[in-house]
């Protein structure tokens, strides 16, 4: 009799488990839209370079399908098992970053990829996903201690080495910023004292302003050069017309694409700037091609889908059955939102060009693969939510 009651209760729990179909549909929409835009933005360059207009599309389809398989597997796997793997994820991210030194593959002047089984993998993407798991475990275990200045500093101190390594070993400043940004978002949700964040934001703004002033001053003394790759990018951001044939070329062409699109755009596939004017338009600058072909209407529709995706993630985080699961979803939210904001800010010239892809839309197998793994984490947390009968 007791066995029958237990079986009935387990069956009811299984039947009442929550599955966020809206989140899944939003992700699938973004993936399909991304594939369409990757083909539209890359077909001309792919045909000239490889003699195959669908070269980039095929590679992106492969990465997307592999990512969807991984997403399903992660979604079906109980996320609580990840608590035991937090430090393994931390160490693995460091190992993969160091593997760049002997085995790294260089492209476009940056050594950021390694080949595993003939497939290129970007350790920075591994580090982002690993930090979400690691921080969710550490913060949930620390409890109220994370609200103290000591606990707060301890968490940031554990994340700092990963960001520094990404900056120093892979020369990937954007990923270093994103990793630290994910940590700040997860801490922000976990701690009630918002004064430290206001103070931190002011401090970062002051430091950034000082760096810009120093770079501009040095450039004026040395005749227009900042004496460094990143310094020249900042100068190109401040006065893009002065660097129109150099560092600011891509940004200016992206602005022309955005401005020429109007409200409804020129039509899908009708972009002119992708015809050799925007270098590798399928990557970081794909949002400018979207604006040119689909106009402001298309750009706003895409932003709405990202907002809808983040809203669904928020619902899962709010209803998660434990703090660890909630923090996992918050980390995924932080990653996606930071990357979307920074990418659009770069494309529109709001911040200096830092090479940040648009989640689910830009060409890039590693980014899509690990982003889908993170969505799998969110779906796994959602499956742990028990529906109630009222």
Using one digit for the tens of pLDDT, what is the confidence trace for 65-93? 999 999 999 999 999 999 999 999 999 99
Percent of the chain clearing pLDDT 90 (strictly above): 54
**Main-chain dihedrals φ then ψ at residue 112, nearest 5 degrees:** -130, 0
Flag whether pLDDT at 1 surpasses 60. no
- Residue of 388 and 71 predicted with greater confidence: 71
User: Which is it for the CA torsion 277, 283, 285, 289, positive or negative?
Assistant: positive
377's tokens: 């984490």
- As a whole number, mean pLDDT of residues 238-257 equals 80
Instruction: Map out the domains of the chain as residue ranges.
Output: 20-76+272-288+302-390, 80-193
Around Cβ 291, how many Cβ atoms within 10 Å? 29
* Mean of all residue pLDDT scores within the chain: 87
The pLDDT, as a whole number, for residue 388 is 54
User: pLDDT band at 367, cuts 50/70/90?
Assistant: very high
Say which residues have a Cβ less than 8 Å from residue 94's Cβ, sequence separation at least 6. 161, 162, 165
- Residue of 238 and 16 predicted with greater confidence: 238
Residue with tokens 């939102």: 337
Around Cβ 15, how many Cβ atoms within 10 Å? 8
Lowest-confidence segment of 11-15, 203-207, 363-367 by average pLDDT: 11-15
Flag whether pLDDT at 343 surpasses 60. yes
- 368 burial type by CB count under 10 A (0-12 exposed, 13-18 middle, 19+ buried): buried
Query: Alpha-carbon Rg of the chain, whole angstroms?
Result: 22
Tell me the C-alpha distance between 80 and 248, whole Å.
Answer: 47
Can you state the angle between helices 323-347 and 123-142, rounded to 10 degrees? 140
The pLDDT, as a whole number, for residue 225 is 60
Residue 8 Cα distances to 12, 15, 384, angstroms: 6, 10, 18
Flag whether pLDDT at 390 surpasses 50. no
Q: What are 180-183's contacts with CB under 8 Å, separation 24+? A: 180/156, 181/334, 181/338, 182/128, 182/131, 182/132, 182/135, 182/331, 182/334, 182/335, 182/338, 183/131, 183/135, 183/155, 183/156, 183/159
**Main-chain dihedrals φ then ψ at residue 238, nearest 5 degrees:** -70, -45
109's tokens: 């002047």
Which among 323, 356, 358 is positioned nearest to 37, based on CA atoms? 358
Tell me the C-alpha distance between 309 and 296, whole Å.
Answer: 20
User: Which is it for the CA torsion 42, 250, 335, 25, positive or negative?
Assistant: negative
H-type alpha helices, 20-54: 21-50
Residue with tokens 């000239």: 48
Which among 179, 152, 145 is positioned nearest to 163, based on CA atoms? 179
Tens digits of residue pLDDT in 146-197 = 888 898 899 999 999 999 999 988 888 889 999 999 999 999 998 877 888 8
The pLDDT, as a whole number, for residue 300 is 96
Residue with tokens 């980390």: 331
Answer whether 96's CB lies under 8 Å from 131's CB: no
């Amino acid at each position: 009799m007791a066995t029958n009651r237990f079986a009935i209760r387990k069956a009811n729990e299984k039947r009442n488990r929550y599955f966020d179909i809206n989140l899944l549909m939003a992700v699938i929409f973004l993936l399909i839209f991304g594939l369409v835009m990757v083909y539209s933005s890359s077909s001309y360059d792919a045909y000239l370079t490889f003699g195959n207009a669908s070269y980039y599309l095929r590679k992106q389809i492969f990465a997307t399908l592999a990512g969807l398989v991984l997403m399903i597997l992660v979604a079906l796997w109980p996320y609580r098992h990840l608590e035991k793997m937090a430090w393994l994820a931390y160490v693995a991210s460091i190992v993969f970053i160091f593997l760049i030194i002997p085995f790294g593959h260089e492209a476009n002047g940056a050594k950021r990829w390694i080949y595993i089984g003939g497939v290129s993998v970007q350790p920075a993407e591994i580090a982002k996903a690993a930090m979400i798991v690691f921080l969710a475990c550490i913060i949930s275990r620390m409890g109220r201690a994370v609200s103290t200045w000591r606990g707060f500093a301890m968490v940031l101190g554990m994340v700092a080495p990963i960001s520094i390594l990404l900056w120093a070993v892979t020369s990937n400043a954007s990923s270093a910023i994103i990793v630290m940004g994910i940590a700040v978002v997860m801490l922000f949700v976990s701690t009630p004292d918002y004064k430290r964040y206001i103070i931190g934001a002011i401090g970062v703004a002051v430091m950034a302003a000082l760096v810009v002033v120093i770079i501009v001053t040095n450039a004026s003394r040395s005749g227009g050069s900042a004496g460094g790759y990143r310094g020249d990018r900042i100068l190109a951001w401040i006065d893009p017309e002065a660097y129109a044939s150099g560092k600011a070329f891509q940004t200016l062409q992206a602005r022309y694409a955005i401005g020429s699109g109007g409200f409804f755009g020129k039509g899908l596939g009708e972009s002119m700037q992708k015809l050799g004017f925007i270098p590798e338009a399928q990557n970081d600058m794909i949002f400018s091609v979207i604006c040119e072909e689909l106009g402001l209407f298309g750009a706003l529709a895409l932003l709405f889908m990202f907002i809808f995706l983040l809203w669904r993630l928020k619902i899962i985080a709010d209803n998660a059955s434990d703090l660890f699961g909630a923090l996992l979803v918050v980390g995924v939210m932080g990653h996606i939102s930071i990357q979307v904001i920074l990418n659009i800010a770069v494309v529109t010239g709001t911040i200096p060009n830092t090479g940040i892809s648009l989640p689910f839309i830009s060409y890039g197998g590693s980014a899509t693969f690990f982003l889908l793994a993170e969505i799998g984490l969110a779906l796994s947390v959602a499956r742990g939510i028990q529906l109630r009968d009222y």
